[in-house]
């Protein structure tokens, strides 16, 4: 399967349109979970964005962009035109890295979110099919690579409270059983995400 190139739409929005559906796993507010998806959308919102129905907002954005069928939608306060693309071992990753003023530690004490938002959105395309278990493992691999990049850059946190990940792979063919960082596909995924976040941090996103 051919990985679609993202197109820039008014908003600004980054849109990936799939010629045929891909199998996706995602934590996105729209189209999250596991299933076949026809498109991915990453849209920019204002820093003070406070809507509690991002899925509805994303459905409106998708409709305005002419997207139909099941898809995945993400939002970020980063200008998506600052997206960083990295490739490794057949994996292709597009990452918008928004840390904001308040990165967070995963195991921080419970406290209101308030305006302490920033978002790292990772949209990653894998060259081979992964089993469902391996896809879950690969999501963890993205989180590990992200935390490593932030630690190396001296960022006081493991991410932000609104980070989202989308992984897509072919829906057919033999399924690889592993997606961890020492597996063939998982290792390439980790390196691509790690490099993209470093580049995004250097750009000051």
CA distances from 181 to 27, 101, 138, 145 (A): 19, 29, 8, 9
Buried residues in 158-192 as b, exposed as e (16+ CB within 10 A)? bbbbbbbbbbbbbeeeebbebbbbebebbbbbbbb
Longest dimension (CA), the chain: 45
The Cα 85–Cα 93 span in angstroms is 6
- pLDDT greater than 90 at residue 196: yes
Q: Give the whole-angstrom CA distance, residue 85 versus residue 193.
A: 9
Asked if 74 and 34 touch (Cβ cutoff 8 Å), the reply is no
Q: DSSP character for 108?
A: P
| 170, 125 Cβ separation under 8 angstroms | no
Residue 81 CB burial class (10 angstroms; 0-12, 13-18, ≥19): exposed
Q: What was the pLDDT predicted at 76?
A: 94
pLDDT in tens, 23-70: 999 999 999 999 999 999 999 998 888 888 999 999 999 999 999 999
Question: What pTM was computed for the model?
Answer: 0.95
φ/ψ (deg, to 5) at 161: -75, -10
Ranking 13-27, 98-112, 150-164 by mean pLDDT, the lowest is 98-112
Q: Which comes out higher in pLDDT, residue 49 or 198?
A: 198
Provide the CA 136 distance to its chain's centre, in angstroms: 14
């Amino acid at each position: 399967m051919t990985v679609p190139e993202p197109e820039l739409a008014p908003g600004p929005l980054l849109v990936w349109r799939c010629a045929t559906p891909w199998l996706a796993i995602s934590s996105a507010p729209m189209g999250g979970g596991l299933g076949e998806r026809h498109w991915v959308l990453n849209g920019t919102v204002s820093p003070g964005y406070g809507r509690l129905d991002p899925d509805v907002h994303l459905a409106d954005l998708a409709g305005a962009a002419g997207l139909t069928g099941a898809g995945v939608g993400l939002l970020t306060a980063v200008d998506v035109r600052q997206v960083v693309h990295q490739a490794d071992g057949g994996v292709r990753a597009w990452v918008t890295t928004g840390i904001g003023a308040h990165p967070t530690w995963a195991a921080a004490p419970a406290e209101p979110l308030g305006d302490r938002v920033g978002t790292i959105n990772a949209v990653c395309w894998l060259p081979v099919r992964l089993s469902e278990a391996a896809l879950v493992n690969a999501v963890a691999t993205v989180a590990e690579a992200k935390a490593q990049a932030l630690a190396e850059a001296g960022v006081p946190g493991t991410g932000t409270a609104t980070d989202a990940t989308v992984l897509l792979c072919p829906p057919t063919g033999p399924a690889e059983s592993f997606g961890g960082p020492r597996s063939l596909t998982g290792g390439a995924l980790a390196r691509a995400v790690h490099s993209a976040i470093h580049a995004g941090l250097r750009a000051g996103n």
